[in-house]
Amino acid sequence: MAAADAAAARGDYAAALAIWGPLAHAGNARAQNNVGACFAGGLGVGRDPALAVKWLTLAAEAGDAAGRRNLAHAYFRGDGVPEDPWRAAALYRQAAEAGDAEAEDMLSWMLLEGEIVPPDPGEARRLAEAAAAQGNAPAMTRLGMIHHNALGVPRDPAAAARWWAKAA
């Protein structure tokens, strides 16, 4: 996996897929996620949303947090599957519970917007704080907004400015 990750980091997705592919076929959930992400983004292969969903579903079912997050993205956008924001929210929640910062951030946004799941500013703040603790800049920006607009907390422009500065 390390050699494949290094190849991907330098943009050589064909080399990475040559390693991830056999691992994915052998049931390695992280490799399944990585293969799915490549098909979703057309990285080293032609973009194929349906095949991406196949691999991401295997990774998600095996408990891979990144696989759950990436599958949630597909459901949220309707990319390779019918758009289903409720299914997306459930998958983001599973990934967030495993500590995936990007999933924590996205679910935080969904809970603040309230268009897909009932609004819950307190839970949105908790998730944003967890993501921010892992260095997620969008979550830091959201925390600034939460404090600036008094979303579930007293209005605190100084706290908002601190969060925005951290995000920057």
Q: Is the pLDDT assigned to residue 136 strictly greater than 90?
A: yes
- The DSSP H or E segment spanning 27 is none
pLDDT above 90 covers a percentage of the chain that reads 95
Backbone angles phi, psi at 10, to 5 degrees: -95, 10
Confidence band, pLDDT 50/70/90 cuts, at residue 117:
confident
What is residue 15's predicted lDDT score, i.e. its pLDDT?
97
Domain chopping of the chain, boundaries: 1-96, 99-168
DSSP 8-state class, residue 150:
T
Exposed e or buried b per residue across 81-102, where buried means at least 16 C-beta atoms within 10 angstroms of its C-beta: beebbebbbbbbbbbbeeebbb
What own/partner pairs with CB < 8 Å and gap ≥ 24 does 129-137 have? 130/96, 130/99, 130/101, 130/104, 131/101, 131/102, 131/104, 131/105, 132/163, 132/166, 134/99, 134/101, 134/104, 135/101, 136/101, 136/102, 136/104, 136/105, 137/166, 137/167
Please compute the mean of the pLDDT values over residues 65-81 and round it to a whole number. 98
Q: Is the pLDDT assigned to residue 3 strictly greater than 80?
A: yes
What is residue 113's predicted lDDT score, i.e. its pLDDT?
85
Please compute the mean of the pLDDT values over residues 91-111 and round it to a whole number. 97
Cα(50)–Cα(57) distance, integer angstroms: 11
Please compute the mean of the pLDDT values over residues 125-140 and round it to a whole number. 98
The CATH number given to 99-168 is 1.25.40.10
State the pTM of this model.
0.91
CATH fold for the domain made of 1-96? 1.25.40
DSSP 8-state class, residue 73:
H
Please compute the mean of the pLDDT values over residues 153-157 and round it to a whole number. 96
What is the rounded average pLDDT for all residues in the chain?
96
Query: Per residue in 8-61, pLDDT tens?
Result: 999 999 999 999 999 999 999 999 999 999 999 999 999 999 999 999 999 999
